Amino acid sequence: GLTERLDAVDGLLLIDSPTGGPTTITAELPWREREGFTAESGGRGFSKGRQRPPGDARRGAGVG
């Protein structure tokens, strides 16, 4: 699941679910600079030649 996916990139998944309180899920991902993939050049989306995986409905910002 999500824990294994985050482990694969040295990330961390934290779940806090107190009795009677709201559940909080926190995912931490390390930042790794990628060549040719910067905020100045648009930073998000897919580079030429790459396509989104089937069913990937993200619209840019927010979800990672």
pLDDT given for residue 31 in this prediction: 87
Going by pLDDT thresholds of 50, 70 and 90, the confidence category of residue 16 is very high
Give Cβ neighbours of residue 30 (< 8 Å, ≥ 6 apart). 9, 10, 11
- Per residue in 22-33, pLDDT (tens digit) is 999 999 999 877
- Distance, CA of 53 to chain centre: 14
Going by pLDDT thresholds of 50, 70 and 90, the confidence category of residue 4 is very high
**Residue 19 pLDDT more than 80?**
yes
